[in-house]
């Protein structure tokens, strides 16, 4: 079997909940619930009031690992 090379481009390493919702087609409330359950990987927050930033690089690595 030949090796397969697949190239991915990530527009931004971190995106907001709203942008992730737009990109994935998942409703904002569902994205928030998935973050709370640990199904979506986020950048560690420094404070409780800091906005959620979804880690697109980690999400891509997870998708590759689980495919």
pLDDT in tens, 38-56: 999 999 999 989 999 999 9
Q: Which residues touch 59 (CB under 8 Å, ≥6 apart)?
A: 40, 41
- Report which secondary-structure segment, H or E, holds 55: strand 54-55
The pair of structure tokens assigned to 49 is 């009031």
Q: What is the pLDDT of residue 1?
A: 58
| pLDDT grade for 6, boundaries at 50, 70 and 90 | confident
Which segments within the chain are labelled E, that is strand? 14-15, 54-55
Q: Which of 3-7, 9-13, 25-29, 39-43 has the lowest mean pLDDT?
A: 3-7
Minimal CA–CA distance to 59: which of 44, 41, 38, 36?
41
More confident of the two residues 5 and 38: 38
Domain ranges, ordered by start, for the chain: 15-65
Tokens of residue 44, six digits:
């560690």
Q: What pLDDT is attached to residue 22?
A: 96
């Amino acid at each position: 079997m030949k090796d397969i090379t697949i190239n991915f481009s990530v527009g931004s390493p971190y995106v907001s909940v709203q942008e992730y919702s737009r990109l994935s087609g998942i409703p904002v409330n569902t994205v928030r619930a998935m973050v709370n359950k640990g199904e979506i990987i986020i950048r560690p927050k420094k404070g409780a009031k800091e906005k959620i930033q979804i880690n697109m690089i980690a999400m891509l690595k997870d998708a590759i690992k689980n495919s």
